[in-house]
A and B are shown apart, each in its own frame.
Chain A
Amino acid sequence: MASRKRDIPEINAGSMADIAFLLLVFFLVTTTMDIPTGLQVALPPITEEPPIDSKQKKREVLEVLVNASDQLLVEGSILTIDKLRQKTVDHLTNEGKDPTLSTTSTKAIVSLKNDRGTSYDMYVQVYNELTAAYNEVRDAYSEREYGRPYSKLDPSRDKERIKAVKKKYPKKLSEAEPVSIGK
Chain B
Amino acid sequence: MAKFKKDGGRGLPAINTSALPDIVFMLLFFFMVATKMRDKEMKVKTQLPQATEVEKLEKKSRLHYIFVGPPLDAQFGTTPRIQLDDAFATVDDIQQYITLKNSEKDEKEVPYMTTSLKADKTVKMGIVTDIKQELRQVNALKLSYTAAKDIRDQ
Which A residues have a C-beta under 8 Å from some C-beta of B? 13, 16-17, 20-21, 23-24, 27-28, 30-33, 35-46, 114-121, 123-125, 127-128, 131-132, 135, 178, 180
Contacts and interface: CB of A to CB of B under 8 A. Distances in A.
B49 A124 contact: yes
B139 A41 contact: no
B32 A120 contact: no
B136 A43 contact: yes
Given A13-B21, A20-B24, A124-B147, A38 B57 contact: yes
A21 B53 contact: no
A46 B136 contact: yes
Contacts of B145: 38-39, 41, 124, 127
13 contacts: A23-B28, A27-B35, A38-B55, A38-B145, A38-B146, A41-B144, A119-B125, A120-B120, A120-B125, A123-B125, A124-B49, A128-B53, A128-B147
Interface in B105-142: 114, 116-117, 119-126, 128-129, 132-133, 135-137, 139-142
Contacts of A123: 125, 128
Contacts of B21: 13, 16-17, 20
B136 A30 contact: no
Given A20-B24, A116-B124, 5 more contacts: A37-B57, A38-B146, A42-B142, A117-B124, A128-B147
A10 B148 CA distance: 53
Contact of A120 (B52, B55, B123, B148): B123
B125 A117 contact: yes
Given A36-B146, A39-B147, A119-B122, A132 B53 contact: yes
